[in-house]
């Protein structure tokens, strides 16, 4: 089944403990992106990648890192998580960044709580 | 600045009533607009995009450049339409980046 997967789905951690949220897609998509969803703010883009080894900041990149070593994977790294990073995180992918009307496919979300 | 505004956090209607979810945008370029929907316990998924000019599940949305709006409409709401709806604007020169509105929760009562 063509889809975007994220792991873990739920995570409770403590301030300062490094963590990685994985994202993988099996659709051979070039474009991948991370969003965070907070009440009243909708979804905001953290980082995106237009292809392997090409990443760029979104609107709220502070405190996050990403890498794109393979086309299918786009992990989100929190080197030193803080409570203000408690949120619901979504990974998304689309066929190409060439056309702005391409549909983005979303993962199921990862609910992160930082104590 | 690029922005998408959905003025209603919650919209509650009865089954069979017409529905209009409002979306206004601010963008200096040529807009590409989408409606995404998130049903309970499901992932966010595309409902429709303005370039396709199609009706999905009875929903339509017309781009009004004069009013910078992309309202979502359905003439007769069904209970299964209850969900969270997000309007989104794609930014062409930023790799198709999506800017989302705050979302509107639609509740259709029997």
Query: In this model, does residue B94 exceed pLDDT 70?
Result: no
Structural domain containing residue B14: 3-109
Give the pLDDT confidence of A16-44 residue by residue, as tens digits: 999 999 999 999 999 999 999 998 888 99
The sign of the torsion formed by the CA atoms of B45, B38, B96, B73 equals positive
Cβ-defined contact of A33 to B86 (cutoff 8 Å): no
Task: Please state, as a whole number, how many other Cβ atoms lie within 10 Å of the Cβ of residue A7.
Answer: 14
Considering its fold, how many domains does chain B have in total?
A: 1
pLDDT band at B71 (very low <50, low <70, confident <90, very high): very high
Mutation site for B-interface testing, chosen from A43, A47, A56, A95 by largest number of B Cβ within 10 Å: A43
Pairwise pLDDT comparison (A96 vs B100), residue with the higher score = B100
Are B85 and B4 a contacting pair, CB within 8 Å?
Answer: no
Cβ-defined contact of B32 to A101 (cutoff 8 Å): yes
Give the pLDDT confidence of A90-107 residue by residue, as tens digits: 999 998 766 666 788 999
Cβ-defined contact of B102 to A42 (cutoff 8 Å): yes
Cβ-defined contact of B90 to A101 (cutoff 8 Å): yes
Nearest C-alpha in B relative to A40: B102
Whichever domain contains B100, its CATH number is 2.60.40.10
Q: What would the two tokens of residue A34 be?
A: 């991370």
Residue A88 forms contact with B (CB below 8 Å): no
What phi, psi does A93 have (nearest 5°)? -140, 155
Q: Which of B46, B91, B102 sits opposite A103 (nearest CB)?
A: B46
Give SS3 for B79: helix
Identify the CA nearest to B19 among candidates B64, B78, B84.
B78
Using CB atoms within 10 Å of the CB of residue B36, give its burial: 0 to 12 exposed, 13 to 18 middle, 19+ buried.
Answer: buried
pLDDT band at B107 (very low <50, low <70, confident <90, very high): very high
In percent, the amount of chain B with pLDDT more than 90 equals: 69
Do β-strands B10-14 and B104-109 pair in parallel, antiparallel, or remain unpaired? parallel
């Amino acid at each position: 089944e063509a889809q975007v997967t994220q792991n873990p789905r739920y995570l409770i951690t403590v301030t300062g403990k490094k963590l990685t949220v994985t994202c993988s897609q099996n659709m051979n998509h070039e474009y991948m992106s991370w969003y965070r969803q907070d009440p009243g703010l909708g979804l905001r883009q953290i980082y995106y990648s237009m292809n392997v080894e090409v990443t760029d900041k979104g609107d709220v990149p502070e405190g996050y890192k990403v890498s794109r070593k393979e086309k299918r994977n786009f992990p989100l790294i929190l080197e030193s998580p803080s409570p203000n990073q408690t949120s619901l995180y979504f990974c998304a992918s689309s066929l190409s960044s060439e056309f702005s009307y391409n549909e983005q496919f979303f993962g199921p979300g990862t609910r992160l709580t930082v104590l | 600045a690029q922005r998408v505004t959905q003025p209603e956090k919650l919209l509650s209607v009865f089954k069979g009533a017409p529905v209009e979810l409002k979306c206004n945008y601010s963008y200096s370029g040529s807009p590409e607009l989408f409606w995404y929907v998130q049903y309970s316990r499901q992932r966010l998924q595309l409902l429709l995009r303005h370039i396709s000019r199609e009706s999905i599940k009875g929903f339509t949305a017309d781009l009004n450049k004069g009013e910078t709006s992309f309202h979502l409409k359905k003439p007769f709401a069904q209970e299964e339409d209850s969900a969270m709806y997000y309007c989104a604007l794609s930014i062409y020169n930023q790799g198709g980046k999506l800017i989302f509105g705050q979302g509107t929760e639609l509740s259709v009562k029997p």
